[in-house]
Amino acid sequence: MPTGTVKFFNERNGYGFIAPDEGGNDAFVHMTAVERAGMRTLRENQRLSYELEQDQRGKYKAVNLQSADDAPAAAAATAPEAAAAEPEAAMAETEVETSVAEPEAATAEAAEAEEAQPPAA
């Protein structure tokens, strides 16, 4: 079963190409093959194993897709991404706290301004 790397996949158009590890022509991959494999989409640089099947026009396409990513490598790849996301999450919490505090300050300033004005005649 050949293995390769997703060169690109356009989810909206429903197709992409896999660059085979052995070299040679890229393998066309259609969304139906992705769905049959139980996947939602493919991401650039994702490693896959696949089979080549000839279609009615004589062209070859990738079918029977399987993830070829090693579990330890995949876990290592997601760990830095998760760590990088943590500061963003902390920053988002700070922004929420700030935005909640600002209306309270504005309300207090408005109340003070009303008290300082003489009553309307």
How many whole angstroms separate alpha carbon 67 and alpha carbon 49?
6
Output the pLDDT for position 114.
54
Q: pLDDT digits over 90-111, tens only?
A: 444 434 443 444 444 444 555 5
Q: What is the average pLDDT across 69-89? A: 45
Q: Is 64 helix (H, G, I), strand (E, B) or coil?
A: strand
3-state helix, strand, coil in the chain (%, to 5): 45, 30, 30
Q: pLDDT digits over 22-54, tens only?
A: 999 999 999 999 999 999 999 999 999 999 999
Q: What is the average pLDDT across 43-68? A: 94
**Residue 51 main-chain phi, psi, to 5 deg:** -115, 150
How many whole angstroms separate alpha carbon 63 and alpha carbon 54?
10
What's the whole-model pTM score?
0.56
Mean pLDDT of the chain: 74
* Dihedral angle computed from the Cα positions of residues 72, 74, 23 and 3, in that order, rounded to the nearest 10 degrees: 80
